[in-house]
Amino acid sequence: MSNCIEVIRPFAEALELDHISNVQIIGGVNSAALLHPDTEFDVDNREIHAPSSLYLDTHRDDATHSLRDLDVLVLSSSQQQIENIRFYLKQTVGDELESSVFGIRTAETLKRQIDRPFGLVALRTFLSDRYNNPYGPGLVKSLYPFSVDIDPESIKPWTLTFGESKMFVPAPPLAVANYACRSISGVRPKDLAKVNALAENIFIKSPELRDWAIDGPGKSQVELGLLLRSLTPNKDHPDIFRVGRPIVPLYDLIENEAFIPKDLSYNKQKRLLSITAFKAQGLSFLESNPLVVAFFQKFVERQSLISAIVNND
């Protein structure tokens, strides 16, 4: 058995050696650290201290026993920078994990969805992404037809340390919020127990991080996750941040400031929301079947066409 920590360590060390700080490792190792009972949070210095014994096998502990994913976020829309990070990964991690590198999407990419709300690009979008704002400075988190501004403070990196090693990761409450607003279907059933455990471990140890999420820098992205619940209202949505907010009726979303296509007629807005809800409910149904999920992960996920949809390409 191999430890993901040891596999990723050379990559993290290469980034540190070349003073690259706009790269964050998300999911996987970060989740393992956040879940560990001995992990401590230094909020003032944006540090996560995990025990040096932290271990995560490179293969999933499910029926597929497939390689785990290594998801790397580059806080840049420069394709050259993104390709450079892919090169670092190839040289250090190789094929020991299923690596994925993604950056900030261009404003033009989101504008194509906005300009053609019933076009192919918009219709095949099932996951949220970070985009340059088409209408001003800064970034937005969008899963069409919804978009929220990203507070710059929310994406400042935290440092995850274990033993003598360290790597940059997202803020702990954002790691939780990402599960709720990543997919059009909300939190996936296979992630539910993990997400609840993440929230409990983080917020019991550092209650101020819950405030950071619901009233501070993470607020807009938490709000996006809350809105997505309206697309699958019969799903048993977890109240991860314990805000106690009821699910908003689907067509009431039209009045929400996060709903982008304000210039469409009311009938077209309703049609767009109906299509979006249909997509969400269909995906939720598939994600609720463990056999379908296992088959998808083992045989389908890496196929070029599906990979393009999964990665919003």
What the block records as the tokens of 163 is 């033993």
Q: How far apart are CA 144 and CA 269, in angstroms?
A: 12
The pLDDT, as a whole number, for residue 29 is 87
- Amino acid letter, 287: E
Q: How far apart are CA 28 and CA 11, in angstroms?
A: 15
The pLDDT, as a whole number, for residue 118 is 95
Q: How far apart are CA 44 and CA 163, in angstroms?
A: 20
The pLDDT, as a whole number, for residue 286 is 87
Q: For each successive 10 residues of the chain (313 residues), what is the average pLDDT?
A: 89 94 91 94 97 90 83 96 96 94 96 95 95 96 98 97 89 95 91 93 97 97 96 87 93 97 96 97 85 57 50 55
The pLDDT, as a whole number, for residue 301 is 57
**Residue 77 in contact with residue 103, Cβ under 8 Å?**
yes
pTM value is 0.90
Q: What is the phi/psi pair of residue 41, to 5°? A: -115, 125
Residue 307 burial (CB count, 10 A): 13
The pLDDT, as a whole number, for residue 306 is 47
CB neighbour class for 124 (10 Å; exposed up to 12, middle 13-18, buried from 19): middle
Separation of CA 163 from chain center: 27
Q: How far apart are CA 173 and CA 73, in angstroms?
A: 16
Pick from 199, 184, 149: nearest CA to 278: 184
**CA separation, residue 216 to residues 15, 133, 175, 181, 220 (Å):** 29, 20, 15, 17, 9
The pLDDT, as a whole number, for residue 305 is 43
